[in-house]
Amino acid sequence: MTVKSIADIAREEISKLAGFGAMLATLFLLVITLAGMAVVVANALHNSPWGFFSVFATIPIAIFIGIYFENGCVPVKSKRLLSLV
């Protein structure tokens, strides 16, 4: 069973232009959803010292873990387990 996106289905069933339109519509919906979540998170963290700490501690930790995983220091099975945590 192959999994197809909405854009792939529209491209095959209707036309290439319809597939491109479906792709743009999907991208637009995802961007709007992400922006809405960003507003919610920003309002929740407003004037919170722990919110400031959480945001600015997360970025260096994510960069460190990305570099650590990329260098091959962790086996593949452990990467999958750690990425779920």
Instruction: Give pLDDT tens digits for 3-50.
Output: 888 888 889 999 999 999 999 999 999 999 999 998 998 888 888 888
pTM assigned to the model? 0.55
More confident call, 33 vs 59: 33
Q: At residue 1, what is the residue type?
A: M
Question: Is the predicted pLDDT of residue 85 greater than 60, yes or no?
Answer: no
Question: Is the predicted pLDDT of residue 76 greater than 70, yes or no?
Answer: no
Instruction: Return the minimum-mean-pLDDT range out of 45-49, 58-62, 77-81.
Output: 77-81
